[in-house]
Amino acid sequence: MQFHRLLKFAPIGVCLFTGCSFQSAAPRVETAITPLPTVAVSNAVLAAPVVFKGEPEPLYPEVEVPNVPEVNHWVREYNNERKSCLRSALERRQAYAATFQPVFERHGLPPELVHVAMVESAYQPLARSRSGAVGMWQFIAGTARSYGLKIGTSVDERKDVAKATDAAARHLVDLYRTYRDWALVLAAYNSGSGTVNRAIARSGSRNFFELARRGMFPKETVNYVSRFMALALIHRDIHPYRLSDEPTALQLARAENAALKIPR
């Protein structure tokens, strides 16, 4: 399915708006590195999806949003200084709702993980970061190829929304099977598994925000996870976060929540 026609006027270059459009991920290195301490992975087989009213429920648990200052800061940011940017991103996301939904359902993932694409690129399929990450889900070449995306002189499937979304979902599944905690999964998606493994090995803690306050993660990664959590919180209940004073934004968000089956 071709999405380029919809986005023929979308900027190919990166335009950075702090906390608004998308921020490039922390520098990602694709060369071989010294092996880091690994996190124990459970071999337990995950339960089959629960069927409720004929519809499959997520196989993986929903994202738990902690009540911490880092998240509350971004809730305020998105509903004040960055409200117009959030609204613009929601309008772009609406064009891809039908693409996201079946992918997340097929992999049993919480539908609100779609917000990863907001934090990564503000839902811009042609986005390119300074570190060479490309597409809505901001894959570097090595990771993209490991999930079957083709990259060459005439094709770059990181820009294909359907294929890149499926690759991102499989990547999130792999990360969750390793860390069993969505905050750590998001941190690994942003800064790499090596950073997360190192933080856990050095501290013995698996609480992302505790690790962040100990200085175990780059500031950009702390903001990345906090922004995602803020977006998840905002979309679980529109009214308390003052999107209700924007009728068009409220109607759009309600329609998206219904389409993506995000719990209210």
Q: Is 120 a catalytic residue?
A: yes
Q: What is the DSSP string of 183-204?
A: HHHHHHHHH-HHHHHHHHHHH-
Residue 156: what are its φ and ψ, rounded to 5°? -145, 95
Quick check: 178 and 116 in contact, CB under 8 A? Answer: no
Residue 138 in tokens: 């901001």
CA neighbor of 70 nearest in space, from 223, 231, 216, 220: 223
Q: Which of 112, 120, 157, 256 is catalytic?
A: 120
Closest residue by Cα to residue 218 from 255, 192, 244: 192
Phi, psi of 55 (to 5 degrees): -120, 135
Q: Can you tell me the distance from the alpha carbon of 85 to that of 114, in angstroms, rounded to the nearest whole number? A: 17
Q: Is the separation of the CB atoms in 244 and 238 below 8 Å?
A: yes
Phi-psi region of 192 (alpha: psi -120 to 50; beta: other; left: phi over 0): left
Cite the active site residues.
120
